[in-house]
Structure 1
Amino acid sequence: MQSKAPFVAMQAGSGNGERVATWLREALTPIAEEPETRDWFALRFGPDNFAIFDTFDGNRGRLVHLLGKVGRGLVVRTFTMLSGLPDIAMTDVVAARVSPGDQRLTGAVRTHWIAGDGQGRNLEAALVEELEHATIGEGTARYVLRLRDDDFLLLDFAAQGASVPDVSERLSASGRVASPPVQAEILAYKLGSLETALSPSALRATSAAR
């Protein structure tokens, strides 16, 4: 998995929420035909608030995706359905674990973490350690993403009824939640494999090799 992963937040224009949701659901068809788009999630955080999160096997796959049907479609819909330009954050994937089993992922939680003064590396290490040792059973997936040296996103995806581990108390010494966790509906998604366990150490080694 490539270490760089876009998180694209977008706001539907007035009265266009359902149109955007329909477009994102239908976007799964062309995404399924992009072999180097590894993981892809279309999320709805509210009636008019949406996001796309995707990972790639390399720079080529990301470029093909950006020039593909969905990437070009986003440009068009910026002027026809959205209230403004999408907010694109190019995150670093610090660690990820994906274990959906045979269950369909239906819900997501986004948590924004800010490190205390000089605590960026400690917070990152704590997030990685939590992911490595947490009990994450079937029907869940978790990504640790770095926005900046002291700024992180934790994305949890789960099947209906699956529990998402609460890490707030264990991470409070090195960071704070910048805003309350936000829940989202998963409109559509694609996973590169049905069973993936990508260790943080393997990700770090891959990133260093690049």
Structure 2
Amino acid sequence: MAGAGPPEPRLRADARRNSAQIRSAAIGAFRGRGLTVPLEEVAQAAGVSKATIFNRFGGRIGLIEAVIEQVVANELFAVIDHTRTIDDIGERLTYYLTAIRDLQYRQPAFNDVLLRTYPHSQQLMEICRVGSQTNEELTAAARASGALRPEFTAGDLHALVLDNALALKHGERPPRDDYDRRTTYLLDGIRDRSTTSGRR
């Protein structure tokens, strides 16, 4: 029994290493292809078995919640924080919608969050709540200032973002130049023409 002591620290070290490898593999996979990547592929990239993912994280939801900050949340919240520092409401609206569409294009996982692909994840639902609250705040301020069409609502903004998420997730991915051009069209379409026509 004297030799039974040393393996325990080694097992703990192996467990920590496995967890770190799984997290790293998940971040890479989720960023590149979204939150629905097969766990078998994450396990293979991490050099572990799928069972190890369940042992360490309890399954897909636990794994997503372990890495969602690095994959999506930190960048989204940085966009929201910067949006709130912009004084001019027109510039604030332009920055926010452009940044959100950019994030949608670059991060497939963000679209999975927006589409509530995993509604049992409290963290993902909290990200959605914060995003919806920001949409409502921004839309109300933009309408009050005349930067938006008076009939445009937070629900309209939410629908536009979700429509884009569905198109990117299930449709043909457009070239980046075309995508950015359509962002400009979108912004032009929702602005109040009575306030922008005089500047053209």
TM-score using structure 2 length = 0.27
The higher relative CO (CA closer than 8 Å, separation ≥ 6) is in 1
Please tell me whether Structure 1 or Structure 2 has the larger radius of gyration of its CA atoms.
2
Larger strand proportion, structure 1 or 2?
Answer: 1
